Amino acid sequence: MQEIFAGMPWWVKWVAVPLIVLVVFGGLIASVVGFVIGLLFKVLVLVVLVGALVFVVRKFMSSSGRGW
C-alpha cells in the first residue's frame, strides 16, 4: 500500500482519500454510529429503570415491617 502512495503529494493521503471514503461509506458509517448511540441510550434507560425499581422495592420493604 505504501508504494501506491509513495509518489503522491501529502494532501492525497490525508485529504483526498479520507474524503472519498466518507463519500462512499458515509451512509454506512452514519447508520452504524446511529445504531450504537441508540443501543447505548436503551442500555442507559434499562439501567435507570432497574435501579429505580430496586430503590422503590427496598424502600417499600424497609417501611413495611413484614414485607409483601
**Grid cell locating 36:** 450504537
Q: How far apart are CA 42 and CA 60, in angstroms?
A: 27
The string of pLDDT tens digits covering residues 4-59 is 888 899 999 899 999 999 999 999 999 999 999 999 999 999 999 999 999 999 99
Q: How many domains does the chain have?
A: 1
- How sure is the predictor about 63, in pLDDT bands with cuts at 50, 70 and 90? confident
Quick check: is 48 in a domain?
yes
Cα–Cα dist 22/39, whole Å: 23
Q: Read off the pTM.
A: 0.64
User: Is 3 a domain residue?
Assistant: no
Considering the domain boundaries, does residue 39 fall inside one? yes
Quote the CA–CA distance of 63 and 38 in Å, as a whole number. Answer: 37
Please report the pLDDT score of residue 65 as a whole number.
61
Identify which has the larger pLDDT, 43 or 62.
43
pLDDT score of 51: 97
> 32: domain range?
11-63
Block residue for cell numbers 409483601? 68
| 13 in Cβ contact with 5 (< 8 Å) | yes
Is residue 5, in this structure, part of any structural domain at all?
A: no
